[in-house]
Amino acid sequence: MYSRAIKRLLLSLIPEPSSVLLLGCRKGELIGYLKPERCTGVDPSEKVIAEAKKNYPEFEFFAGRLELIDLKDKFDYIIIT
């Protein structure tokens, strides 16, 4: 769970609409708070990625290590959690 202070800080730094790459996205809680136009989430746990896909089907999620995932898109912001 992210603290309110961290959420407020990220909202002040990342305007809408933005594209975001979220490393360590877990179930997508932060994605829902930021409301990006486009988002890709990466997490090593297939279980939490399944939840993230269920919670935010409009975004793209990958289970695994980042260095093994072929991302061709560019992002306005990268968040590592």
Q: Which pTM was predicted? A: 0.87
* Residue among 3, 8, 56, 7 nearest 32 (CA): 56
Tokens of 79: 């968040």
pLDDT band, very low/low/confident/very high, at 1 (cuts 50, 70, 90): low
| pLDDT(17) > 90 | no
Question: What residues does each domain of the chain span?
Answer: 4-80
pLDDT in tens, 18-72: 999 999 999 998 888 888 999 999 999 999 999 999 999 999 999 998 788 888 8
CATH for 4-80 is 3.40.50.150
Q: How far is CA 71 from CA 6, 10, 15, 21, 42, in A?
A: 27, 23, 22, 10, 10
